[in-house]
Amino acid sequence: MDMEKIKEQFSRVAAEYDNRRRCFIPCFDDFYTRSISLLRHYKKDFMNVVDLGAGTGLLTKAIYEMYPSANYTLIDVSGDMLKIAKDRFIGMSNFNFLECNYVEEIPVNNCDLICSALSIHHLNENDKENLYKNIYSKLSDGGCFINLDQFIAKSKKIDNLYNDWWSAYINSSGMTQREKEAGRERRKLDKENTIDETINLLRKGGFENVECIYNFMKFGVVMAVK
């Protein structure tokens, strides 16, 4: 696994990461806000929320706005990214930050919501399979896992169209050439699955109730309930 490369790439762009998310994610509001609003129809309250590959805390922020009384644990391999997350939630006693590799261990028990955004697609197949089993074991009965991520289309021709469209969107986004090149470097770390492959891996991990709840070209949200 290229965890050291992942840490290096994301630590390097930590300071400008948030400002450029909309330039990289054309469906930003649907992706980070509208899709996860489905959680409110599943549970009115979550007590223990864990964000895997939390980065600067963008996904945690969106969930916190729905569940402000929950306890949050943000896990990331990049201390530089977590530093920004700490600043985002400064002064809040219900937040904990762990700089570690969540593939090796999720050091939290009795979770009722585990979430992740644009992180798991960097892992190889064995790590994904083991991670999903571990997530299942860490969730309480009735607990939920929601993954906002990048996916590859089942059709290579269609996936190429998605990539061409995405490149055109990024090129017209107003980012500098240096930022575009940094984004292309990070994409070299991608190990995308199709949504169907992801659902099958989650079922192998123990989940029976799994569904894609949102999909726009390369971006999708998969929800699994224990």
Q: What is the DSSP string of 120-133?
A: GGGS-HHHHHHHHH
Here the CATH number for the domain that contains residue 39 is 3.40.50.150
**How many domains, the chain?**
1
DSSP strand pairing (139-150 vs 209-216): unpaired
pTM score, two decimals? 0.89
Look at 92 and 22; give whichever has higher pLDDT. 92
Q: Which pLDDT score, from 0 to 100, does residue 82 have? A: 93
Query: Whole-angstrom Cα distance, residue 44 to residue 9?
Result: 37
Task: Give 174-222 pLDDT, tens digit per residue.
Answer: 877 887 777 677 777 789 999 999 999 999 999 999 999 999 999 999 9
Residue ranges of alpha helices (H) inside the chain are 3-12, 14-17, 21-24, 28-29, 39-42, 58-66, 79-88, 125-138, 156-171, 177-187, 195-204
- The amino acid that residue 217 corresponds to is M
Note the pLDDT tens digit of each residue in 16-62.
566 677 888 999 999 999 999 999 999 999 999 999 999 999 999 99
Nearest to 16 by CA among 190, 182, 187: 182
Which amino acid does the sequence have at 22?
R
Rounded alpha-carbon distances, angstroms, from residue 138 to 6, 30, 194: 24, 28, 25
Name beta bridge partners: 223: 146, 211
Within 13 Å of residue 91, how many CA atoms lie on the same side as its CB? Answer: 1
Q: What is the pLDDT of residue 3?
A: 55
Higher pLDDT, residue 132 or 173: 132
197 vs 84, higher pLDDT: 197
CA distances for 25 relative to 1, 11, 28, 140, 215, angstroms: 25, 19, 5, 32, 13
Two structure tokens written together for 93: 């006693």
- The amino acid occupying position 197 is E
221 - beta bridge partners?
148, 214
Boundaries of domain holding 174: 3-225
Query: Residue 5: pLDDT above 90?
Result: no
Q: Give pLDDT, residue 4.
A: 55
pLDDT given at position 166:
93
Quote the pLDDT of residue 17: 61
**Pairing of β 48-52 and β 111-117:** parallel
